[in-house]
Amino acid sequence: MQPFLTSAGSLARDPLFVAAAIAAGAAIVVAGLIGLVLFLIVRARARANAEAAQLEAAEAQARILELARLQTETAGRIQQMGSMLHQQQSELQRAVNERLDAVTHRLGQSMQATSTQTNENLNKLGERLAVIDRAQKNITDLASQVTSLQGILSNKQTRGAFGQGRMEMIVQDGLPKGSYEFQHTLSNRMRPDCAIFLPDQRPLIVDAKFPLEAITAFREAEDENARGAAAKLLRQHIGTHVTDISKKYLIPGETQDMALMFVPSESVYAELHDGFDDIVQKAYRAKVMIVSPSLLMLAIQVIQQIQKDARMREAADKIHAEVGHLMDDLKRLQDRVLKLQNHFGQANEDVRQILVSAEKVEKRASRIKDVDFDEEADDQLVLAAPLRRVAGE
């Protein structure tokens, strides 16, 4: 033990040992400081973590409170929406019930009306069936009448009378009396079937004697040879008839430049235009127009318009003449008004002069009124002066 203390004392007296001891102590102190600093840092971090945890806990609690509030509001809104939905469902159910009641009522009315209408239609159907039965009976009677009509039209004269009668009905229905004449006598002593008088008093001739027997033979031809022969005969008959109309009824200066050849059948007219265009062109060159019943009615309507325009022109001429007379009367009225104006001017001048004279008389009367006859003689001398002036004026 003694040697150890001796060595320790000797070491304490050694400067290197002291320096080493001091350095060791300084290192221990530094290590202690570092440890203290580290402890403080760790403690500060722990405190910061604790504060952060507290803040996060506070924020979490605030969020929880906010979520609770939102949950409460959401529950209130859900309850409100539930009540609204319940109310809307009640209203919807009420509206649906009302609509169903209305639809049921309308459906009942519609079914009742439909039933009534069905009964009425059934009754009308029965009536129409009865009418159809009567019509069928009439058709049967008409068939027999057509058969008899065919027998009647087999005669040339009766066919001509048929065409003449149909043409006369069309003309009579479309034109007023006096604007046409049947069997009118021309200057060459020819008497056409109808003469329609136009505004220039030249008649438009209408002939109704169409050769129906030729077209009948053409229709009834059984083979091509017979059909060709019938077509040739038809061209010959119609060409001869067109020539006769052109020579007999077209008189320059007396009749119109064109005549009408009436065909009493639309089918015959269509067949002529389809298969016999050369005949139509020949008639057109001869100034003879082939017309069907519909075209004759159209021509009658055109003639009506022409006659109406002529009457309007005559009325316009009369109106023009009356307007001329009215202008003459207006001129005379203007001259008389000017003379009356001159008389009024002279009368105004006379009235003005009369007013001037009346004004002078009034002034003189005022002066006489101002004279005092109760004054003495000296005043009478004074009075004499204005009287003399009055007398002088």
- Where do the domains of the chain lie? 2-116, 157-291, 321-393
pLDDT tens, residue order, the chain (393 aa): 444 444 445 544 566 666 777 777 777 877 778 877 787 888 788 787 777 778 887 887 888 888 888 888 888 888 888 788 888 888 888 888 888 888 888 877 878 888 788 888 888 888 888 888 787 777 776 665 544 445 444 455 555 566 778 888 888 888 888 788 888 888 888 888 888 888 877 888 888 887 777 777 777 777 778 778 888 888 888 888 888 888 888 888 888 888 888 888 787 788 888 878 888 888 888 888 888 888 888 888 888 888 787 778 777 777 777 777 777 777 887 788 788 778 877 888 878 888 887 788 778 777 777 765 554 444 444 444 444 444 444
Please state, in angstroms and as integers, the Cα–Cα distance from residue 102 to each residue in 69, 89, 90, 99, 125, following that order: 48, 19, 18, 5, 33
Q: What is the pLDDT of residue 383?
A: 46
Phi, psi of 370 (to 5 degrees): -75, -10
Cα–Cα distance measured from residue 352 to residue 80, given in angstroms and rounded to the nearest whole number: 100
Residues 190 and 249: beta-carbon distance below 8 Å: yes
**Which residue is listed with tokens 């001048």?**
349
CA distance 248 to 34: 155
- In angstroms, the CA 171 to CA 206 distance is 10
115, two tokens: 């039933």
DSSP 3-state assignment of 206? strand
d(CA 7, CA 367) in angstroms, rounded, equals 180
CA dist., res. 270 & res. 263, Å (int): 10
Domain covering 157-291, topology: Trna Endonuclease; Chain: A, domain 1 (3.40.1350)
Residue 355 carries which side chain, given as an amino acid letter?
L
Enumerate residues 6+ apart whose C-beta is below 8 A from 181.
194, 195, 197, 203
Q: Work out the burial of residue 271: count CB atoms within 10 Å of its CB; fewer than 13 is exposed, 13-18 middle, 19 or more buried.
A: middle
- Pick the closest to residue 238 from 199, 209, 201, 206 (CA basis): 209
Tell me the CA distances in angstroms from 167 to 121, 160, 173, 261, 281, one per residue in order: 42, 11, 10, 10, 23
